[in-house]
Homo-oligomer: A and B are copies of this chain.
Amino acid sequence: MKQVKVAIVGASGYSGEELLRLLQRHPGVAITCITSRQYDGQRIGAVFPRFAESDLTFVAPDAAAIAAAAEVAFLALPHGLATEFALPLLAAGVKVVDISADFRLRDPAKYAHYYKAPHPAPEMLAKAAYGLPERYRTEIAQADLIACAGCYPTSIILPTSAILAAGLASPQGITVVSMSGVSGAGRKVDLPYIFPECNESVRPYAVTGHRHLPEIEQELAVAAGLDDLAISFVPHLMPVNRGIHSTILLDAMPGATPEKVEQALQSAYADEPFVRVLPKGGLADTKHVTMTNVCEIGWAWDEHTGRIILSSAIDNLTKGASGQAIQCMNIVCGLDEAMGLL
């Protein structure tokens, strides 16, 4: 089989490590370039000892060199910096699968509000496909630039959009409480993330205005057929390495029934290789999905309050980042969508 040549730009963080883990055994790709400013010239085993057997070596990032080496580039860079590499790579004909937040929002004003700076390339926003294959498979297949859905957004949009699209819940008053493992903060060396500060602790953060909020609202509005909507989103940090759990509370619409909820979820995802809908009363557990590309969705019907309670679990580094990016790459390259991910 001919192998797609891929580059990983910004390969020394946890998303980069997960891309390396998955792509090294992906039969349809050859990794031809991995970049890291900090580790330029070092073999990946020096940074990630579990890959000590690999000959791959970090190089300092250079768009021309990446374009010469690869047909597809994964960008695992901070927001802002991703755009700096995306533009020349696209110009050079490289497909870009971006894990950063740079191209997820349609509205540059929202980007400016939440990221405290004008968007560096607003004209690109309309050209990017939103990298959530279960909802944008066709767009992804045709795009040159794919903005992979964020970790929290993936865990929330998948279960909720199916219910909203079926008209079973009100788009008003949606409440989401999520919990993320510490790898979600990246490989960040900062006091709140050292072991003794995280272990035996649980705490919310960014309870108003988390940067993933407008992305979640954008996609739920699409599902509900609205221009916009507002939700409550409260993320928490919890002491696990990997995993995101989201609990979502929705007000059921008149006429909604448990049977219709089950039907909506099942019909939305029956053929999806990476979405698991549990039977009624089933509850998602991060343990069931770690190291997989699966989003597990549980749901309950709360007669007491007239609410639909959704729960979902993903591995933040796989379906929440690198696995999803590979799923998008498989689509855009015409490979089997699940290749390298089972």
Contacts and interface: CB of A to CB of B under 8 A. Distances in A.
Interface of A: 14, 25, 49-50, 52-53, 173, 175, 177, 179, 181-183, 187-191, 193-205, 207-209, 213, 230-232, 234, 236, 238-243, 245, 247, 249, 276, 278, 283-292, 294, 296, 298, 300-305, 307, 309, 311, 313, 342
Contact of A190 (B49, B189, B313): B189
B241 A200 contact: yes
**Number of identical protomers:** 4
A196 B249 contact: no
A201 B283 CA distance: 12
Given A194-B189, A196-B187, A208-B304, A202 B245 contact: yes
Given A50-B288, A202-B240, A305-B232, A187 B177 contact: no
Contacts of A242: 200
22 contacts: A50-B287, A50-B292, A53-B276, A173-B173, A179-B179, A181-B196, A182-B196, A188-B194, A194-B194, A195-B197, A200-B290, A201-B243, A201-B286, A202-B243, A203-B284, A207-B309, A207-B311, A208-B301, A213-B304, A231-B305, A232-B305, A232-B309
A245 B236 contact: yes
Nearest to A176: B177
A208 B53 contact: no
Given A201-B287, A203-B286, 15 more contacts: A49-B288, A50-B294, A187-B196, A189-B190, A195-B195, A195-B197, A199-B240, A200-B286, A202-B243, A202-B245, A205-B283, A207-B300, A230-B304, A232-B305, A234-B309
